[in-house]
Each structure stands twice: as structure tokens, then as C-alpha cells.
């Protein structure tokens, strides 16, 4: 398949979260990856060539001054046996901001450029190593919030969705070829496609497509989660419910009406499904401009919700205000 012209450039990026940690990984990919590594890396002990899939201990060294920047492990994955199907170098550094920044500055000064978000996966896609559903699954794995979310994303990364789509496509092409043969050679009895058989094959395909659509909705839920907004009048117990579901005192709870002035979001897991739980300001008539702003945000959150949880005080009878709120929802 055609390769994007950008792939002639060598890119580099930090592959681990920023901040302090035990290790940090810098990845370099592209035609100059090996030459850049040879310029900035000095193996400990006797000089040796970079070998495919071999981990080498050494140091990152500024070739201009000879100053050692960090003690590292280097791994080399030769094209096409790498994530991007290009030559790839990975440096395992100590996970402090300073050695990471200095090493990255050195690599960029050698001709690499900073990778754009998702560009390593983009190159894997452009090189034909993964297809589009698998490329999307990479981000889903990174962002998985529950065990089930991770399981669904990993199946997609393995290519199970792509295989089902490929099988359905071949089935459609097979039916199309039979129909065209019937039209082109209608006088030949051995190419005729009986209508009941055609109906049966098409029925199976329709069922398969319906399953695709059903699974697509399920996949979206596991990927993005549900937005569950807790709403109600002031002092109805919304924040208490929010804290109870989170199993921690995330928001302040008092007997003073209007304590919650803004929407607060947290992730929880319910039955393997990620849930974005939103605590909102209580709804009531008030002249307080700050409280009105909070209620405006509450209504915006309700409009975007998949699930609205209305909290009501059962110790008192329904009021006209309660009925208006029920009507709004």
C-alpha cells in the first residue's frame, strides 16, 4: 500500500507519563533512528554494534562535549519487525524530568522531530501492520477504565472485529458474483441461484450486520462509559449519594442549602461498565447569581446525560416545585 511521505522523517517521543518515576522510555522511529542512536549512545565496556532485539547497557552521551547525561538500556528493533515497521530505538532512562528532557533535546538536535500525538500508531497503520479498527483499539486500551473495557479493546486489537468484517465482505462478494453470473449466463441452468437459497444467505448477512451494530453500541459504552447525572432540589441528598457511590467523602455535605455550586465529575465502575458520575448544584428558585450559574450548569449536564438520577426527600410530600422538576426531566 502507498506510504505517507511523512514516514521518510525520523520521529521521537517520550512514551511514558511525564513526571518522576522509576524509568522513562524514549522511542525513536524512522530511517535515521539507528544513526541517531549511534551518535548519542555509548555502550559500557567494549564497543559493539546494535543488534536486533538485543538489550544493551550503556550511557547517553552528548557527542559535542562528551558529557554523560544518563545511564540507560537501549533496545533496537529492525524494520519491518517493529511496531511501526521502521527501524525503532527505545531508550530506558531514569524517570526524572531532567535526564528525559536533556536526552530528548539531544535526539532532536540530531535531526529527529517530535512525534505528533498518535503518530507511531499512524505509521503502523500506514505501513499495513495494523488496520483502522486495531489502530483505534490501541487508544481504547490506553484509556480503558474497567476490566471489561480492556477485554473488549484487546479483542479488537487482536483483529477479531476485522476478521468478522472481512468474512462478511467475502460473503457479500460471493453472493454478488453468483447474481452477476445468473444475469450474464441466464441460459445456463448450472449457474442459476435459487431464490430460497439467496434469501437464506442474505438473511444470514443481515443478522450479522445487526450484530455488528449491536456490538458497536456495546463497544461505545465500554469505551466512553455512561454519563450519570445526579440532580434534584437543594438539600435532597445528592452529594451524600455521590459520596456513597464513590465510597469516599469527595464533596462537602452540610445542612446549608446550596452548598454545591458547581458540577463535579468522577469515574466509577458498575458491573464492569465505566460510569461518569456527576454531582450537580440543587435546582430551586433563587436570586443568588452564583447559584443560578451553578443551576445553569446542572441543566447543561442533564441535557448531555445518558442517565439522570433524580434524588427526592421522601420525608416530605411532593410539592409544586417537585412536580415542575419532574416535568422538566
Return the domain boundaries, the chain.
Answer: 5-129, 147-222, 226-328
3-state DSSP assignment of residue 122: helix
% the chain with pLDDT above 90: 33
Q: How far apart are CA 255 and CA 131, in angstroms?
A: 56
226-328 is classed CATH 3.20.20.140: no
Distance of alpha carbon 107 from its chain centroid, rounded?
Answer: 28
Do the beta carbons of residue 113 and residue 12 sit within 8 Å?
Answer: yes
- The H-or-E segment that residue 143 falls in is helix 132-143
5-129 is classed CATH 3.90.1150.10: no
**Statement: residue 128 has pLDDT above 70:** yes
Neighbours of 268 (CB within 10 A): 17
pLDDT digits (tens, 9 = 90+) for 311-320: 888 888 888 7
Q: How far apart are CA 14 and CA 28, in angstroms?
A: 9
3-state DSSP assignment of residue 56: strand
The pTM (predicted TM-score) of the whole model is 0.66
**Statement: residue 32 has pLDDT above 80:** yes
Q: What is the pLDDT of residue 1?
A: 46
Q: What is the mean pLDDT of the chain?
A: 84
Amino acid at each position: 500500500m502507498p506510504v505517507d511521505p511523512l514516514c521518510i522523517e525520523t520521529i521521537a517521543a517520550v512514551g511514558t507519563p511525564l513526571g518522576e518515576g522509576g524509568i522513562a522510555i524514549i522511542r525513536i522511529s524512522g530511517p535515521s533512528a539507528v544513526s541517531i542512536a549511534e551518535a548519542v549512545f555509548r555502550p559500557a565496556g567494549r564497543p559493539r554494534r546494535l543488534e536486533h532485539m538485543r538489550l544493551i547497557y550503556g550511557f547517553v552521551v552528548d557527542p559535542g562535549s562528551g558529557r554523560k547525561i544518563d545511564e540507560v538500556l537501549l533496545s533496537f528493533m529492525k524494520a519491518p519487525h517493529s511496531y511501526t515497521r521502521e527501524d525503532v530505538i527505545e531508550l530506558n532512562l531514569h524517570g526524572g524530568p531532567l535526564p528525559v528532557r536533556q536526552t530528548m533535546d539531544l535526539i532532536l538536535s540530531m535531526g529527529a522531530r517530535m512525534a505528533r500525538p498518535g503518530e507511531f500508531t499512524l505509521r503502523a497503520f500506514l505501513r499495513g501492520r495494523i488496520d483502522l479498527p486495531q489502530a483505534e483499539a490501541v487508544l481504547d486500551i490506553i484509556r480503558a477504565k474497567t476490566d471489561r473495557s480492556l477485554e473488549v479493546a484487546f479483542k479488537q486489537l487482536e483483529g477479531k472485529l476485522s476478521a468478522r468484517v472481512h468474512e462478511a465482505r467475502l460473503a457479500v462478494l460471493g453472493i454478488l458474483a453468483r447474481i452477476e453470473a445468473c444475469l450474464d449466463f441466464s441460459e445456463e441452468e448450472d449457474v442459476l441461484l435459487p431464490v430460497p437459497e439467496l434469501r437464506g444467505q442474505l438473511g444470514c448477512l443481515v443478522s450479522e450486520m445487526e450484530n455488528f451494530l449491536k456490538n458497536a453500541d456495546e463497544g461505545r459504552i465500554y469505551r466512553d462509559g455512561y454519563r450519570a447525572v445526579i440532580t434534584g432540589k437543594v438539600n435532597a441528598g445528592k452529594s451524600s449519594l455521590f459520596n456513597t457511590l464513590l465510597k469516599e467523602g469527595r464533596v462537602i455535605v452540610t445542612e446549608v442549602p446550596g452548598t454545591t455550586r458547581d458540577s463535579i465529575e468522577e469515574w466509577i465502575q458498575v458491573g464492569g461498565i465505566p460510569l461518569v458520575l456527576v454531582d450537580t448544584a440543587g435546582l430551586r428558585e433563587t436570586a443568588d447569581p452564583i447559584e443560578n450559574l451553578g443551576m445553569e450548569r446542572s441543566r447543561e449536564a442533564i441535557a448531555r446525560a445518558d442517565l439522570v438520577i433524580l434524588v427526592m426527600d421522601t420525608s416530605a410530600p411532593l410539592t409544586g416545585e417537585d412536580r415542575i422538576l419532574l416535568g422538566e426531566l
